[in-house]
Amino acid sequence: MVNSKISLEGRLKRHPLLHQRIEALIGIVEDSEGDLDKANAAEERVIQELHQMGKEVLQGWAKEKELQKTKEYKESNQQDKIKNKGKKKFIGIQHTEE
């Protein structure tokens, strides 16, 4: 679910690790450290950053999903408890005479 009213910068602020990785990728593109004279070195650094970013993003995603599922489970159990508080009307099986 993408919230188009929030800027990219605003959304990245909610995900500081992702923001840090994006900054690192921009640093590679701009060669901010001045040590990337060859394409192979730049490629290797990009691959390392993307690998780390993928790992961190998936870990963050998994944590969010776990929190979401836990919340849903607790809400579901709470509603089940509310439903089960009513008086039970079942009196058992009635036997008929033969």
**88 in any annotated domain:** no
**19 in any annotated domain:** yes
- What is the count of structural domains for the chain? 1
pLDDT one-digit tens code per residue, 26-52:
999 999 888 888 999 999 999 999 999
**93 in any annotated domain:** no
Closest Cα partner for 23 from 38, 12, 34?
12
Q: What domain range is 42 assigned to? A: 8-79
* Res 76: pLDDT: 86
Identify whether the C-beta of residue 52 lies closer than 8 Å to the C-beta of residue 58. no
**90 in any annotated domain:** no
**36 in any annotated domain:** yes
Residue type, 29: V
**Paired tokens of 19:** 């923001």
* Res 87: pLDDT: 59
**3 in any annotated domain:** no
* Res 66: pLDDT: 96
